[in-house]
Structure 1
């Protein structure tokens, strides 16, 4: 009844807390609950278990951390990432907690010491060809220091802590936190310049630590890990090391000696040699995941893995120049539980390696072969004949693999759900037809620059693979409208479509998609020279769930087509439309004013009016070079 509070007067706090615990992962639901009344705000704060804090401008980060710790007393997981700025409107405040982020932008007072938002984007590895729409604004960067880490130490029941590229965190802060947060189970220090003293303190106090990520921790030496290993030896299950030039085989020998429960190891190092991997293989019989990018490791180390690591399920070998088929022969003989194999730029592996894996690891479910130029059709045929459980196959830059290989995949791998093909010049329509007819449960098909694949193969996919949800056909010159018509008629569950650079595709193909694939969420039709307004109008009418659309380099679309697209696609969050000469500032304004959920619009700067910039400058992104 209106005017009466029938919930708060009946439901006890315990029940409300239980309800809040089930919605923590949803930002909008959590925020809505906290705004209902003071009681709900108090209870919702008590129920919070996770805080995510992105690097941004605003209050000093150490003050921010102290504030959050005081307000959310039952937090268990804290994730801080200084790589990515939070995109919010200038002079606006956003408060988001839980599995979300906190940011506050203060009014700009002038240039001074601030760093531009664009520099934060480049640090995060964001596309270098883009700048934030607010790049004129100078802001102070988010940098967590030891003082902030000391405040975090007040969360004595902290279980997970992630500090991504927090470059100002040092030994003192980490030591203080380790001493008080003795329930810590997961610690991610990627890109932090902590030293041996801090890591040693973690080993001394955090006896329950299970996951440790030390990627790009350049301040570490062997001494730190040697101190850590005895303390966390019984609990440590996951360890990641990359680009730590002063961590050598000596560290891995200590890990192999004390960390007998280790299950996952990721190594990327030019320093590590055979002895370190040998120690891990012999000392960690429970190892399930091994990822190696170590140019100085040879057959001897992998022979030990095959001999001792009987529980191995995932093996990733990258850029190995010093081992041969002998290694995978031993892996195939010893690691019968192997399910996932990724080999990249391993030039001395031949078809014999895949034959050994097929013969010994019949339970293989995922296989990726990337740039292994001596592996050909015969090797993959062995996989097709032996590995009936295969669910995902990726062939990248495999020039020697031909149609017959995928013929065997189609015959023997009925459970295949994902197929990735990149620059495989000898794979054509016949291969895709074999897969489509044999693997009818296929859900994901990604093909890029495979110039022998055309309409025939994709039509077969549309006729047979009715569960397809993700289709990417990038720069496949022989794919045209007939292929998309078949997809539109046969794949009603399609959610992701990328036909960038398929020059023969025009309005007819996209109209068929619009009429047959109402669940479409992501659409990339960039570099389609014959695509016009008719297709955009049909997409807008038939695919109202679209959130991301990329229209760049479509020279025939106009403001009229954009207006029809966004009229019904009210959920649109991302739109790229650079190098579209017939789109004007009117079209840009239409997109901005219609799409209330828009988070990013990539467009030429000169097409944005002053009014549009004032209204939605925070969602605008521009190319570095003005056109």
Structure 2
């Protein structure tokens, strides 16, 4: 029967709600909710997460959102998102709307408000099923507002506060009322002292699994001792503090036998504390150490000896670590899957060779600013780490083509290769990747001057799954290389060809023809492209969401207007202000960003 509503007459509410819950994007949910009033009500009923900004008027807006979205369990409020809203960021309002459509559009802008204690009271009254609350830089919220949440949101499991001036009374109320709390994160909470954290540890010690403290100057070892005494189920601890010393870390190591993840940026901590971690935290799986000046290889030797389950190790700016410590980790932590070494200037080739020989389960390796690591290190990784899926190299001046060839031949499961400013890497190494790594999905070779078109031809021929390509600053790459990518990599969604002086419009035509799924493109500083190539690109790439094209002399105001009018999904354009006409500015000013701000 014509015009018969088979869906609404045949499908029950429960099935439609389940369909909404399984849609893969928010935009799809938003579009589906516009079909009819019933679908709009069911979509609101099924929504469990709302992300809102933090400027405007709080009380009535929160109340109105709470009445429409009654099953929200995850609320994210960010003062930095003053002009953002979760129900369709960046969408343009139609010129003509029905009364119902205007009401729907108005309701969808209710996440832009300034949160105060009154707003938190409204949150507590309206979202009684809340399980996760995130407050970012909500500077008007205090302990009084947090007490409202504690008293009425007993199901709260996760609380993330950043830059909020909540004090001990609010945190103490959370500890007293929220007995299911599992994760808390305090960052720049200037009002918080040991008293509040101790009350939280006492109240939620049985359930608390994750604790993060950063830049809270009044938190000392005293509260960490309480954590060690009461939080026996703690699995994750993240600390960034100049005031935490050995005593607090040792207390946690002794009192939290289930600790699995430890992130430390504590400049006063020494070998004594990390030795305790190595001896006592036998379940430790992830360890990140930042800017340590007071510990040596002795700490890593203890970690290697005691933490046999370690899978992730991150070392950043730890100047007194050497190959000896890394060798101890390699010998003792055979289950290691991810290693990042960043700016540890005493770690050299020998330490990484030990990893390659012993850590056969390694899946991701990142070497940043490692000036003493040479090709020989990656030879061993290529031979021993057959399961490697991601390799990141930044400013490693001794690593060249031979190392990349070794990785390509030995690690055929490689999916991500990111190289930046490694000037000895050229076409030979990248060609080997194209010939051997058939599962490659991400390739970034920024400012590698020796990589030319022949390398991208090999990638286009051998890596059909490629989705992300960044060749910014690779001056030898031109139309031939990008054309090969366009013809061989139809799943490409991200392309950065900025600062390619020889790239011309023909390459953009090929990209438009061969990469219909493209979502993001960066064309900045491409002097040879023009409005013609840009028009061909946007006419074919219907899913384009962002386009950066500053310092492209051939792109004019007409080209910018073409992008705006053609790309219905566009969310961000970066361009010089002089190339945006008044009409374009009126039509899409909210999605246009300018490189320079006039003074």
Could you say which TM-score interval applies, normalised by the shorter chain? over 0.9
Instruction: Tell me the residue number matched to 1:150.
Output: 121
Matches of 2:265 and 2:571, distance apart in 1: 37
Instruction: Tell me the residue number matched to 2:22.
Output: 22
- Partner deviation per Cα, 1:29-55 (whole Å, 9 max, x = no partner): 322343233333333322222222134
Instruction: Tell me the residue number matched to 1:124.
Output: none
Matches of 2:359 and 2:104, distance apart in 1: 47
Instruction: Tell me the residue number matched to 1:48.
Output: 47
Instruction: Tell me the residue number matched to 1:312.
Output: 284
- Partner deviation per Cα, 1:404-431 (whole Å, 9 max, x = no partner): 0000000000000000000000000000
Instruction: Tell me the residue number matched to 1:174.
Output: 146
Matches of 1:199 and 1:47, distance apart in 2: 31
TM-score (norm 1): 0.90
Distance verdict in 2 for CA 1:159–1:511, change over 3 Å = same
Q: Give 5+ residue unaligned stretches, structure 1.
A: 106-140
Instruction: Tell me the residue number matched to 1:613.
Output: 585
Instruction: Tell me the residue number matched to 2:473.
Output: 501
Query: Mapping of 1:177-216 within 5 angstroms?
Result: 177-216=149-188
Matches of 1:95 and 1:460, distance apart in 2: 58
Alpha carbons 1:54, 1:103 under 8 Å: kept: no
Q: Give 5+ residue unaligned stretches, structure 2.
A: 95-100
Alpha carbons 1:606, 1:626 under 8 Å: kept: no
Instruction: Tell me the residue number matched to 1:555.
Output: 527
Aligned-pair CA distance for 1:619 = 1.6
Query: Which residue of 132, 136, 161 corresponds with 2:133?
Result: 161
Query: Paired residues, what number?
Result: 586
Aligned-pair CA distance for 1:296 = 0.4
Query: Which residue of 276, 287, 292 corresponds with 2:248?
Result: 276
Matches of 2:319 and 2:381, distance apart in 1: 23
Alpha carbons 2:58, 2:118 under 8 Å: kept: no
Aligned-pair CA distance for 1:224 = 0.5
Query: Which residue of 236, 249, 267 corresponds with 1:264?
Result: 236
Alpha carbons 1:576, 1:601 under 8 Å: kept: yes
Query: Mapping of 1:71-150 within 5 angstroms?
Result: 71-84=68-81, 85-86=83-84, 88=90, 102-103=108-109, 142-150=113-121
Distance verdict in 2 for CA 1:212–1:616, change over 3 Å = same
Query: Which residue of 538, 562, 565 corresponds with 1:590?
Result: 562
- Partner deviation per Cα, 1:183-227 (whole Å, 9 max, x = no partner): 111111122110000000000001110010111111111111111
Query: Mapping of 1:284-303 within 5 angstroms?
Result: 284-303=256-275
Matches of 1:505 and 1:336, distance apart in 2: 46
Aligned-pair CA distance for 1:553 = 0.6
SS at match of 1:8: helix
SS at match of 1:267: strand
- Partner deviation per Cα, 1:259-294 (whole Å, 9 max, x = no partner): 010000000001111111011101001000000000
Find out whether 1:367 has 2:300 as its counterpart.
no
Higher relative contact order (CA 8 A, sep 6+): 1
- Partner deviation per Cα, 1:137-185 (whole Å, 9 max, x = no partner): xxxx732011111111122221111111111111111001101111111
Query: Which residue of 212, 229, 243 corresponds with 1:240?
Result: 212
Distance verdict in 2 for CA 1:51–1:625, change over 3 Å = closer
Distance verdict in 2 for CA 1:584–1:454, change over 3 Å = same
Aligned-pair CA distance for 1:354 = 1.1
Alpha carbons 2:576, 2:596 under 8 Å: kept: no
Matches of 1:179 and 1:395, distance apart in 2: 48
Q: CA RMSD in A?
A: 1.9
Instruction: Tell me the residue number matched to 1:454.
Output: 426
SS at match of 2:529: coil
Query: Mapping of 1:495-534 within 5 angstroms?
Result: 495-534=467-506
Aligned-pair CA distance for 1:617 = 1.6
TM-score (norm 2): 0.95
Instruction: Tell me the residue number matched to 2:552.
Output: 580
Distance verdict in 2 for CA 1:17–1:536, change over 3 Å = closer
Matches of 1:557 and 1:382, distance apart in 2: 48
- Partner deviation per Cα, 1:310-369 (whole Å, 9 max, x = no partner): 000000000000000000000000000000000000011110111111110000000000
Instruction: Tell me the residue number matched to 1:464.
Output: 436
Q: Which moved more, 1:179-188 or 1:233-242?
A: 179-188
SS at match of 1:479: coil
SS at match of 2:547: strand
SS at match of 2:365: strand
Matches of 1:549 and 1:37, distance apart in 2: 36
Aligned-pair CA distance for 1:614 = 1.9
Find out whether 1:10 has 2:7 as its counterpart.
no
Query: Which residue of 433, 443, 450 corresponds with 1:478?
Result: 450
Matches of 1:206 and 1:215, distance apart in 2: 20
Alpha carbons 1:376, 1:398 under 8 Å: kept: yes
Matches of 2:340 and 2:491, distance apart in 1: 29
Alpha carbons 2:61, 2:113 under 8 Å: kept: no
Aligned-pair CA distance for 1:398 = 0.3
SS at match of 2:109: strand
Aligned-pair CA distance for 1:245 = 0.5
- Partner deviation per Cα, 1:46-86 (whole Å, 9 max, x = no partner): 22222221346xx5233211111122222222111222332
SS at match of 1:331: helix
Aligned-pair CA distance for 1:2 = 2.3
Matches of 2:102 and 2:319, distance apart in 1: 51
Query: Which residue of 336, 348, 357 corresponds with 2:308?
Result: 336
Instruction: Tell me the residue number matched to 1:109.
Output: none
Alpha carbons 1:525, 1:551 under 8 Å: kept: yes
Matches of 1:610 and 1:39, distance apart in 2: 40
Instruction: Tell me the residue number matched to 1:133.
Output: none
Aligned-pair CA distance for 1:26 = 2.9
